[in-house]
Structure 1
């Protein structure tokens, strides 16, 4: 005699986790009880995710270390920047996996804004170098 538990359907809500996209401030992101359904904390969470997405693009657009730097120090600095960038990227990815539409939109806008800043800065430098 088997006592098999029924498998939850894909849209079932297990312990507050959503398996499909949803709207609203009632989301759990990265840590238990955060943002905890409070509008102010939800807005803060969105701001943090936006800043992280912008930082990912900014760190990806940093130029190489100056040639006067020793190869070991230059490599360590670049590896450290890359490590921070990857840590932020994984945190942003995990935030998106909350399936909250607001988080998804803020992440996409943050990446686009960060990419714009990097390209604008590069274009401004190129324009100044030609002048």
Structure 2
């Protein structure tokens, strides 16, 4: 039984048990993967893919449900990675969510005067 304390390691054994190649490069790849998945979760949370005039309600509802399922699955993958209790993984996850919000959800990079969230995204907000 492993203790539940945060640790700072540079091998992939704690993130992906049983993965061959327990090197620093694999660790950096794992951190990049967690960061990227977090970024995609934020993108899915703030995107408008479904065009309301071009799709009927059934098609739009099925696409919205598929997007929701993908977003939840990716969010759970990030959660499981953070449960490795590796500080680097936690920092990568928080950084991915933060950068994703900066790019897709905040006013910092919006060039027009349109306020974010005026047009609702396809999916409801991700709640904890």
The TM-score with structure 1 as length reference comes to 0.75
Using CA pairs under 8 Å that are at least 6 residues apart, name the structure with larger relative contact order, 1 or 2: 2
Q: Structure 1 stretches of 5 or more lacking a match?
A: 1-13
- Corresponding position: 1:124 with 2:111: yes
Q: Structure 2 stretches of 5 or more lacking a match?
A: 115-128
Q: Which has the larger radius of gyration?
A: 1
- Corresponding position: 1:78 with 2:48: no
Report the Cα distance in structure 1 between the residues aligned to 2:7 and 2:37, rounded to whole angstroms: 22
Report the Cα distance in structure 1 between the residues aligned to 2:3 and 2:20, rounded to whole angstroms: 15
Aligned to 1:57: 42
- Whether the 8 Å contact between 1:35 and 1:41 is mirrored in structure 2 is no
- Whether the 8 Å contact between 1:23 and 1:100 is mirrored in structure 2 is yes
Q: More displaced, 75-84 or 62-71?
A: 62-71
Aligned to 2:126: none
Change in CA separation of 1:88 and 1:98 when aligned onto 2, cut-off 3 Å: same
Cα root mean square deviation, aligned: 2.1
Q: Deviations over 1:50-79 (max 9, x none)?
A: 000000000000126222211010011111
Structural mapping, 1:1-131, within 5 Å: 14=1, 17-26=2-11, 27-29=13-15, 31-34=16-19, 37-63=22-48, 65-68=50-53, 69-118=55-104, 119-120=106-107, 123-126=110-113
The TM-score with structure 2 as length reference comes to 0.76
Q: How many residues align?
A: 111
Q: More displaced, 115-124 or 69-78?
A: 115-124
